[in-house]
């Protein structure tokens, strides 16, 4: 143990004992294990340990160094809270952690091989922290994509199951045209799958560059050996399972902003689903209901309430994402000189919060999609509220061209007049009024009663709804199938 150990620990997002009390969407063991302070610490130590292994393999550090550094880099040896407080001295957590790591390496180097020579040689705090955050992001996104693909598989099943389930489409809050719940689920799937594919396309590159991005110290280190600073950086990338980088990216932050954009896109897609479920599960709408679980959705004052908490939590994450991404872009546009000052520091909490929110929301949206209850009878009831007026567009397209000019009005204008007159009738009488006025306006020779009923059947005016759903699912086959995932999360807890 070093002097920093035993000083307490921190939770997922910052202050000592912070367990996410005011961020319930991301308050879970899985999120904490992958994005919490201890995960950051472990990632920093992994970078230092990985670099020691690279140097030893390249013959640039004493034999046996990597094993000593690896043992000293065991995260359990370090107290996060103490390191966090001491980080104020140098402005980042790598500096105090590195001091403790060196002490531990010295203590464990029992045979005196000089393993300390392998610690942090030619690296900078930014090299280590940027690379560590790429490790953190890669691990988090990997878990996120697992939940995301379970979500899309559930949405694909809903789309197929309800391909012919009629509901009402809404535009600017009003009933617009007949729709299907299958297409709605397919559009949800489309948003999530497209965002997931964007997320899968990201690279997580190693950072290297040294004090000013010239690799001067690395050049000196590698002189006289077959290695170059570039080959050593590529070896570190391979050691950590990250992408090689063609050059240092100290102040070129597209890597970070691209990650932020992709995470925000995922949360946008999640937020759309949550917003729809929140509306459609209102008692007066009643078309959907969230899956129930003991203790979920309760009210502190109203025992009869069943709140759609999953959707509330997911939407809360989606509403936070844009500001966090904006912070990443603001930082990227403010990175000055060859290595930056405070702009770099503002990236860390914004990026980590995005990762935590996306992963937390993914867990909830997976459960929501997998257990969502659909009520076709309520969908049909709401569809019928507008009556045959909902088919006015289709009637106009089919019948308008068949009508000649009358009283100076074209066929389209005559049919619009029928709609306008209908809307003046009480809402309970509009259905019968529209049918009567339409029948009076269109001669039987132009439109038979049978053809009229066909035009006023909502199922007759769905356009290409079924084909659109099929095309969406076919465009993302890898997201439509249920993925095989581990039975436990990285924290050892069951993944239900």
Point out the residues that are catalytic: 299, 339
The most distant pair of C-alpha atoms in the chain lies apart, rounded to whole Å, by 106
Take residue 119 and report the two structure tokens written for it: 């610690």
What is the sign, positive or negative, of the torsion defined by CA atoms of 215, 219, 222, 225? positive
User: CA nearest 86: which of 95, 74, 78?
Assistant: 95
- β strands within 141-277, DSSP E: 166-171, 174-180
**Helical (H) or strand (E) element with 480:** helix 477-480
- Dihedral-angle region of residue 359 (phi above 0 means left; psi in -120 to 50 means alpha; beta otherwise): alpha
User: CA nearest 139: which of 29, 40, 237, 261?
Assistant: 40
Return the residue matching tokens 């953190």. Answer: 136
Q: In DSSP terms, which residues pair with 180 in a beta bridge?
A: 166
- Separation CA 52–CA 69 (nearest Å): 7
Give the number of other CB atoms < 10 A from CB of residue 400: 16
Residues contacting residue 384 through CB under 8 Å, at least 6 positions apart: none
User: CA nearest 330: which of 342, 319, 318?
Assistant: 342
3-state secondary structure of 341: coil
How many CA within 13 A on the CB side of residue 99?
A: 14
């Amino acid at each position: 143990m070093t002097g920093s150990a035993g000083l307490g620990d921190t939770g997922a997002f910052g202050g000592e004992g912070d367990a996410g009390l005011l961020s319930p969407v991301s308050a879970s063991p899985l999120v904490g294990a992958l994005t919490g302070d201890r995960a950051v610490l472990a990632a920093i130590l992994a970078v230092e340990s990985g670099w020691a292994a690279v140097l030893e393999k390249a013959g640039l550090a004493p034999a046996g160094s990597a094993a000593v550094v690896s043992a000293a880099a065991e995260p359990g040896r370090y107290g996060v809270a103490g390191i966090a407080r001491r980080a104020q001295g140098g402005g980042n957590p790598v500096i105090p952690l590195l001091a403790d790591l060196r002490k531990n390496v010295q203590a464990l180097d029992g045979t005196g091989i000089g393993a300390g020579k392998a610690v942090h040689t030619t690296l900078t705090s930014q090299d280590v922290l940027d690379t560590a955050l790429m490790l953190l992001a890669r691990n988090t996104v990997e878990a996120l994509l697992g939940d995301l693909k379970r979500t899309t598989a559930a949405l694909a099943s809903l789309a197929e199951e309800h391909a012919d389930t009629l509901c009402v489409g809404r535009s600017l809050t009003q009933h617009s045209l007949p729709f299907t719940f299958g297409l709605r689920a397919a559009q949800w799937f489309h948003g999530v799958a497209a965002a997931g594919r964007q997320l899968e396309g990201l690279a997580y590159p190693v950072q290297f560059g040294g004090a000013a991005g010239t690799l001067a110290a690395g050049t000196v280190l590698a002189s006289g050996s077959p290695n170059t600073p570039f080959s050593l950086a590529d070896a570190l990338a391979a050691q950590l399972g990250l992408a090689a980088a063609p050059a240092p990216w100290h102040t070129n932050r597209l890597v970070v902003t691209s990650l932020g954009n992709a995470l925000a896109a995922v949360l946008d897609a999640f937020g759309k689903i949550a917003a729809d479920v929140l509306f459609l599960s209102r008692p007066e709408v009643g078309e959907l209901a969230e899956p129930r679980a003991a203790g979920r959705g309760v009210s502190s004052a109203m025992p009869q309430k069943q709140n759609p908490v999953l959707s509330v939590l997911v939407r809360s994450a989606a509403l936070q994402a844009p500001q966090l991404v904006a912070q990443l872009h603001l930082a990227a546009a403010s990175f000055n000189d060859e290595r930056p000052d405070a702009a770099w520091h503002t990236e860390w909490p914004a990026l980590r919060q995005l990762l935590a929110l996306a992963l937390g929301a993914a867990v909830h949206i997976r459960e929501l999609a997998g257990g969502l209850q659909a009520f076709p009878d309520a969908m049909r009831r709401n569809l019928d509220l507008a009556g045959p007026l909902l088919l006015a567009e289709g009637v106009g397209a089919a019948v308008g061209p068949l009508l000649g000019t009358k009283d100076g009005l074209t066929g389209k204008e005559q049919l619009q007049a029928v709609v306008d007159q209908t809307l003046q009738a009480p809402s309970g009488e509009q259905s019968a009024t529209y049918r009567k006025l339409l029948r009076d306006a269109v001669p039987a020779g132009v439109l038979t009663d049978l053809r009229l009923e066909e035009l006023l059947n909502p199922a007759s005016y769905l356009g290409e709804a079924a084909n659109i759903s099929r095309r969406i699912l076919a465009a993302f086959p890898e997201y439509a199938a249920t993925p095989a995932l581990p039975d436990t999360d990285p924290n050892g807890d069951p993944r239900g």
